[in-house]
Chain A
Amino acid sequence: MDWLGEAGLSAPESVNTTLDLPCGTSVLRLGQQEVLLTAPPGGSGARLRELRNAWHDSELPAKGYEAYRDEGWAWFVISGPAAPALMRRISMADLRPESLKPAHLAQTRALHLDAVVARFDRFGAVSYDIFFDIASAGFALDVLTETAAGTNADFQMAALHPAE
Chain B
Amino acid sequence: MTERLPLPWGSRLDRTRKIRFEFDGWPLEGFAGDCIASAMAGTGRWILSRSFKYHRPRGILTMAGQDANTLVQLPDEPNVRADLRPIAEGLKVTAQNVSGTAEHDRGAVLDRLGRFMPVGFYYRSFFRPGAKSWLKFWEPMIRKSAGLGKVDPAAGRGHYIKENLHTDVLVVGAGPAGLSAAIKAAEAGAQVLLVDLNPELGGALTYARFGLEPAEAEATLKTLREAAEKLGNLRVLRGATCNGWFADNWLPVLQGEMLYRVRAKQVVVAAGSHEQPLVFRNNDLPGILLSSAAQRLMRHYAVRPGQRAVVFAGNRDGYLTALDLLDAGVSLFAVLDPAADVSGKILAQRLIERGVRIIPNATVTEALGAGGNRHIRAIRFNTPEHGTELLDCDHLVVAAGYTPCYQLPLHAGAKLGFDEASRQFVLSNLPEAFHVAGSAAGYFDLKSVLRSGEVAGAAAAQGAGHACVHPDIIPDASAPKMNYLQDLSPHPKGRDFVDFDEDLQIKDIKNAVSDGYSELELVKRYSTVGMGPSQGRHSALATARIVARETARKVGEVGITTSRPPFGPEKLGLLAGPNHVPYRHTAMHAEHVAGGAKLAPVGAWWRPLHYAGKRDVKKVIWDEVTLVRDRVGMLDVSTLGKLAIRGPDAAAFLDRIYTMAHARQPVGRVRYCLMLNDMGSVIDDGVAFRLSETEFYVTATTGAVARVFADMLFLNTQWGMQVDIQNVTAAFAAINVTGPAARKVLEALGGDIDLSPDGFPYLNGRSGVIGGCPARIMRIGFTGELSYELHVPQSFGASHWRKLLEAGAPFGLQPYGLEASRILRLEKGHIIIGQDTDALSTPDELAMGWALSKAKARYVGKTGVEARGRLGLKRKLCGFELPEGHGIRLAESCLVLRDGRPVGFVTSTCLSPTVHKWIGLAYADPRDATPGSSLRIRGLCGKELEARVVPTPFYDPENQRQEM
Contacts and interface: CB of A to CB of B under 8 A. Distances in A.
B161 interface: yes
B795 A112 contact: no
A138 B263 contact: no
A67 B584 contact: no
Interface string A142-160: 1100110010000000000
Contacts of A136: 582-584, 604
Contact of B164 (A64, A91, A139, A150): A91
A54 interface: no
Contacts of B793: 68, 71
A134 B585 CA distance: 9
Contacts of B731: 68-69, 71-72, 134
Nearest to A64: B724
B726 A88 contact: no
B164 A112 contact: no
A96 B586 CA distance: 34
A123 interface: no
Contact of B584 (A139, A142, A146): A139
A89 interface: yes
A88 B166 CA distance: 9
B166 A94 contact: yes
Contacts of B589: 138
Interface in B570-606: 578, 580, 582-586, 589, 604-605
Interface in A48-95: 64-65, 67-69, 71-72, 88-89, 91-94
Contacts of B263: 92, 94
Contact of A89 (B162, B582, B644): B162
A44 B761 CA distance: 43
Contacts of B795: 71
Contacts of B280: none
B608 to A, nearest CB: 15
B728 interface: yes
B582 A112 contact: yes
B161 A139 contact: no
Contact of B728 (A68, A88, A94): A68
Interface residues of B, number: 31
A150 B263 CA distance: 22
Contacts of A138: 583, 585, 589
Query: Which of the listed residues B162, B731, B794 has the most CB atoms from chain A within 10 Å of its own CB?
Result: B731
Contacts of A150: 161
Nearest to A113: B582
B809 interface: no
A39 B480 CA distance: 70
B724 A65 contact: yes
A90 to B, nearest CB: 9
B583 A139 contact: yes
B730 interface: yes
A134 B584 CA distance: 8
B451 to A, nearest CB: 31
A142 B261 contact: no
B610 interface: no
B166 A112 contact: no
A135 to B, nearest CB: 4
Nearest to B159: A150
Contact of B585 (A65, A93, A113, A135): A135
Interface in B121-180: 161-166
B646 interface: yes
A88 B164 contact: yes
A65 B726 contact: yes
A32 interface: no
Contact of B794 (A71, A139, A143): A71
A99 B584 CA distance: 31
B435 to A, nearest CB: 22
A133 interface: yes
B732 interface: yes
B730 A135 contact: yes
Contacts of B161: 89, 150
B642 to A, nearest CB: 10
Contacts of B162: 89
A74 B413 CA distance: 43
Interface in B805-833: none
Given A72-B728, A96-B166, A135-B730, A65 B580 contact: no
A72 B647 CA distance: 21
Q: How large is the interface on A (under 10, 10 to 19, 20 to 34, 35 or more residues)?
A: 20 to 34
A69 B729 CA distance: 11
Interface in B699-742: 724, 726, 728-732
A127 to B, nearest CB: 19
A89 B164 contact: yes
Contacts of A94: 166, 263
B583 A65 contact: no
Interface in A119-137: 133-137
Nearest to A96: B166
B732 A71 contact: yes
A162 to B, nearest CB: 13
A99 B166 contact: yes
A65 B730 CA distance: 17
A135 B163 contact: no
B584 to A, nearest CB: 4
B586 A135 contact: yes
Given A92-B164, A135-B730, A112 B585 contact: no
Contacts of A96: 166
Given A72-B730, A135-B730, A89 B163 contact: yes
B580 A142 contact: yes
Nearest to B732: A71
Interface string B639-661: 00000101100000000000000
Contacts of B578: 146-147
Nearest to B723: A65
B582 A139 contact: yes
A143 B161 CA distance: 12
A65 B605 contact: no
Contacts of B582: 112-113, 136, 139
Contacts of A146: 578, 580
A134 B797 CA distance: 13
B477 to A, nearest CB: 44
Contacts of B585: 135, 137-138
A92 B589 CA distance: 31
B580 A88 contact: no
Nearest to B792: A71
A92 B605 CA distance: 25
Nearest to B797: A71
A56 B263 CA distance: 45
Nearest to B726: A67
Contacts of B586: 135
Contacts of B644: 65, 68
Contacts of A147: 578
A143 B580 contact: yes
A68 to B, nearest CB: 4
Given A71-B731, A71-B793, A133 B164 contact: no
A84 B130 CA distance: 67
Contacts of A72: 728-731, 794
Contact of B646 (A65, A69, A92): A65
Contacts of B580: 112, 139, 142-143, 146
Most A-side CB within 10 Å, residue of B161, B165, B730, B794? B730
B265 to A, nearest CB: 10
A108 to B, nearest CB: 11
A133 B727 CA distance: 11
Given A113-B582, A134-B730, A147-B578, 8 more contacts: A65-B644, A71-B793, A71-B794, A88-B165, A92-B261, A96-B166, A99-B166, A135-B730
Give 7 nearest A-B pairs by CB, closest first: A72-B731, A68-B731, A71-B731, A135-B584, A94-B166, A135-B730, A92-B164
14 contacts: A64-B724, A67-B728, A68-B644, A68-B731, A68-B732, A68-B793, A71-B728, A89-B162, A96-B166, A112-B582, A133-B584, A135-B585, A138-B583, A150-B161
